[in-house]
Amino acid sequence: MDVRPLIKSLKGKFKATVAEETGLLAADKQIVPFKGKLKTYNPKKPNKWGYKIYVLASAQGLILYKEFSTGQIDPMEGQPDLKASGNIVLPLLQPIPHGQWHKPFTDNWFTSPALFTTLHSQHTGCEGMVRANRLLGCALP
């Protein structure tokens, strides 16, 4: 059974919902519990087995858009290569209207100066926790 038509249909519905959403958003990863074949295992998560998806959610917790993890994370066409974490966030934010300064929040895996600079040039704000190894020589007290 091919699930791609279902996923394509859902993406269209999510894009329509995103256009109505304004302001605060969150980009994050989730594991959908599943114990069959072709799954991801992460021993540090509450749901250790399942499919990994990347989601864009509203401040109310509604999932507005999602991308299924396929293992390979390539840069989006027409966008700079921001390594794995940044290359995930940019496609998630594509459905939102540009130039309206939406503010997505990200956790420390997604946050990087390169991502924030790219989003700022596209008139999208961003906030996130930061890892010390992603500061490119900036020293924090």
Give per-residue pLDDT as tens, 78-103.
888 888 888 888 888 887 777 778 88
Long-range CB pairs of 97-100 (<8 Å, 24+ gap) are 97/19, 98/122, 98/123, 98/124, 99/123, 100/22
The Cα–Cα gap between 21 and 87 comes to 22
Host H or E run for residue 93: helix 83-93
Stretches where the chain sits below pLDDT 70 are 1-3, 11, 13-22, 38, 140-141
- The pLDDT score that the predictor gives to residue 71 is 77
- Structure confidence at residue 137 (pLDDT): 73
Give the pLDDT score at 5.
81
For 74-118, give the DSSP string: PPPTTS---HHHHHHHHHHHTTSPTTS--EEEE-TTT--HHHHHH
